[in-house]
Amino acid sequence: MRSTVFGVLLLAFTPALMALDDAKEKPKTPLGAYQELAKEYQKAMDELRKEFQEAKTDEAKQKLYEKYRQNITTSAGRFLELAQKDPKDAAAVEALVWLVENAPASPEAAKAVDLLIKDHLNNDKVKALGPRVTYLPTPAAEKLMRSLLDKADGAEAQAKACNTLAQLMKSKSDIVHMIKGADDELLKQVEVMYGKDFLKEIKTWDADKAAKEAEELFERIVTKYAEAKDLAAKAKTELFELRNLAIGRTAPDIEGEDIDGKKFKLSDYRGKVVVLDFWGNW
């Protein structure tokens, strides 16, 4: 079951490289070189994903996690090398953004973030990165979003960065809880997928502190960036979750009808241990 959870994680890595198919092959330009690298990476990942779906044993899956990480590590080095050739070029922006999105736990991504902050903070591609980095809270993603929140041009970009940073903080808090309750097998899987250093890093995080900062950041969206209506509405729901649905809080009551139209309440089950399962048969 556990491997399924991570399997889902593995399947969820679908970087935004869809447009690459129409790209003309011009390997001699930096942009062409970037596209070739990205294509190669994508191809390897597609194959891995396929192998993962067909893998039957845990050992086989474990090997695939290792291959998955190897592909990321090797590619990260290549993308950074490409970006460093001419850090101000448009191809560099692509390569650096790629690193933050696809290999955020790598040392290369930390370097990429520094380069992006230095030369490209207000590039549209950097500003649009937000939703694609929230799947894994890494120091790299966090640093970039903090910079955007402080220095991005325009309230809209700042509001978006504020939202992304809040999401990162929320997931940071969740991951700490997850790792605390994890057995050796799960810890090993995290280590294989993201590296020893990242696991060490997680162990230094403070769940309550991260949750508190998430709350402050969502609050800031509601008060300071109210003109970003969708984000503000979403922030209010997030605030409700952080304040009322966190581990240790009493669950709010649920009142409604069952499938046959009969009314019942969650509080009817006080005195019992309850698993509440949001499900659907679709």
Partner 1 sequence: MYPHERSLVKRLENKPFALLGVNSDRDRDELKEVIKKEQITWRSWWDGGSTSGPIATKWNVTGWPTIYVLDHKGVIRYKNVRGESMDKAVDKLLKELEEEMKKGKQ
Residue 264, classed as helix, strand or coil, is strand
Alpha carbon separation from 14 to 8, 59, 96, 205 (Å, rounded) = 11, 24, 17, 27
- Indicate the residue among 154 and 252 with the shorter CB distance to partner 1: 252
Closest separation in Å from C-beta 183 to partner 1: 8
Tokens representing 208 are 């309550």
- Indicate the residue among 70 and 244 with the shorter CB distance to partner 1: 244
Q: By C-alpha distance, which of 70, 94, 69 is closest to 80? A: 94
- Indicate the residue among 56 and 270 with the shorter CB distance to partner 1: 270
Query: Looking at 15-23, 74-82, 137-145, 241-249, which segment touches partner 1 (CB under 8 A)?
Result: 241-249
Closest separation in Å from C-beta 256 to partner 1: 4
Verify binding: residue 60, partner 1, rule CB under 8 A: no
Question: Phi/psi of residue 265, each to 5°?
Answer: -125, 150
Instruction: Quote the Cα angle for 87-90-92, to 5°.
Output: 40
Instruction: Indicate left, alpha or beta for 248 from its phi (over 0: left) and psi (-120 to 50: alpha).
Output: left
Residue 214, classed as helix, strand or coil, is helix
Q: By C-alpha distance, which of 141, 98, 135 is closest to 10? A: 135
> How many CA atoms lie less than 13 Å away from 277 in the CB half-sphere?
5
Query: Looking at 40-48, 100-108, 130-138, 265-273, which segment touches partner 1 (CB under 8 A)?
Result: 265-273
Verify binding: residue 1, partner 1, rule CB under 8 A: yes
Closest separation in Å from C-beta 19 to partner 1: 26
Closest separation in Å from C-beta 112 to partner 1: 28
- Indicate the residue among 27 and 261 with the shorter CB distance to partner 1: 261
Tokens representing 114 are 């520094």
Most distant CA pair in the chain: distance in Å? 69
With b for 16 or more beta-carbon neighbours within 10 A and e for fewer, the 220-240 pattern comes to: bbbeebeebeebbebbeebbe
Verify binding: residue 245, partner 1, rule CB under 8 A: yes
Verify binding: residue 271, partner 1, rule CB under 8 A: yes
Verify binding: residue 264, partner 1, rule CB under 8 A: yes
Closest separation in Å from C-beta 16 to partner 1: 20
Verify binding: residue 230, partner 1, rule CB under 8 A: no
Verify binding: residue 248, partner 1, rule CB under 8 A: yes
Verify binding: residue 19, partner 1, rule CB under 8 A: no
Task: For tokens 């008060």, name the residue.
Answer: 223
**Residues between 177 and 206 with contacts to partner 1, criterion CB under 8 A:** 177-178, 181
Tokens representing 61 are 């899956």
- Indicate the residue among 204 and 250 with the shorter CB distance to partner 1: 250
Query: Looking at 49-57, 86-94, 117-125, 259-267, which segment touches partner 1 (CB under 8 A)?
Result: 259-267
Contact positions toward partner 1, by CB under 8 A? 1-2, 4-5, 174, 177-178, 181, 237-238, 240-241, 245-252, 254, 256-259, 261, 264, 266-267, 269-282
